[in-house]
Amino acid sequence: MSSTPKEYWTRAYREAPAIFDAFSRAEDPEGLVARRLLAHVPLSGRTVLELGCGTGRYTRELVPQAGLYLGVEPSSSMLSLARKSFNNLLQPPVLLRARGESLPLRAGSVEVMLAAWVVVNLREEIRDRVLKEASRVLRPGAEYGMWLLENHWDSQFQRYRGRGGEDELRLRRLLESDGFRLVEVVTTELCFPSSSEAERILGYLCGDTMLGHLRRSPTAVLEHRIVILHRSG
Ligand SMILES: C[S@@+](CC[C@H](N)C(=O)[O-])C[C@H]1O[C@@H](n2cnc3c(N)ncnc32)[C@H](O)[C@@H]1O
């Protein structure tokens, strides 16, 4: 979910992490995706690395399940909001300010990697470096390897953003050229406290195409489909 000329995700990572956080709390309110992920990859006792953990939407849910949980995130403002929300956890994650293409970790030191809405939108050159770095830090032959969460191209959320076609191409590239396989499509919702909150948050992040839809048909709930992808270590 990076910035296209009419979308403002990267501006939010820098300047408005609370807006991104409100979006991520609206996403999949019943936690279906984390449950499905854990059904495929048991984290217990394992060293887990989350790339681009943002304000910690998935970190919060997954950290109690793991042995050691490391989160890396390049944006200092996203990271400081994440840190605040982990204050009361018994077993907080280890958070590092770093980019996926240059990880401050030893080769072979991680058993499972997760990246939620990070990889698909990276520029090709950066994506290649991130995937190479992932192979370096994953333990050779790591049974559980790398897991991605990304948007399915066909959902109400994608239609309202006008992004379906572009995201289908990006996902197909991961499946056809980068060695990922599609494990599951989870149908869920973006569920905001009210239609005016949906308009405020999605308007900021997704811009005019989204705003046009929400002003014509105000709603607090949008259908959302999330894909789980996997590649062995
Ligand atoms: C759409 S947000 C997702 C945040 C979090 N994973 C979640 O699901 O709530 C994308 C995140 O990827 C981070 N990011 C962008 N480029 C990155 C890179 N090269 N390496 C690691 N993280 C990156 C951004 O700063 C942002 O926090």
Which residues does a 6 A CB cutoff place in the pocket of ligand 1? 1, 9, 13, 24, 51-54, 57-58, 73-75, 78, 99-101, 116-118, 122, 126, 130
Residue 188: strand pairing partners: 224
Asked if residue 182 has pLDDT above 60, the reply is yes
Angle of helix 17-26 relative to helix 195-206, nearest 10 degrees? 120
User: What is the Å distance from ligand 1's center to 154 Cα?
Assistant: 22
Work out the average pLDDT over 196-207: 97
- pLDDT, residue 30, reads 95
Q: What angle do CA 187, 92, 231 make, to 5 degrees?
A: 45
User: What is the Å distance from ligand 1's center to 54 Cα?
Assistant: 5
Work out the average pLDDT over 172-200: 97
Nearest to 63 by CA among 41, 37, 89: 89
pLDDT digits (tens, 9 = 90+) for 119-169: 999 999 999 999 999 999 999 987 899 999 999 999 999 999 998 788 899
Token pair of 18 as six digits: 């609370």
DSSP H stretches of helix in the chain: 9-15, 17-26, 32-40, 57-62, 76-85, 124-137, 156-161, 164-176, 195-206, 208-216
Least confident of 5-19, 35-49, 127-141: 5-19
Token pair of 195 as six digits: 């239609």
CB neighbour list of residue 192: distance below 8 Å, 6 or more residues apart: 22, 26, 198, 201, 202, 220, 221
**In the CATH scheme, what is the code of domain 9-231?**
3.40.50.150
Work out the average pLDDT over 48-70: 96
User: What is the Å distance from ligand 1's center to 44 Cα?
Assistant: 24
| Domain residue ranges of the chain, discontinuous segments joined by + | 9-231
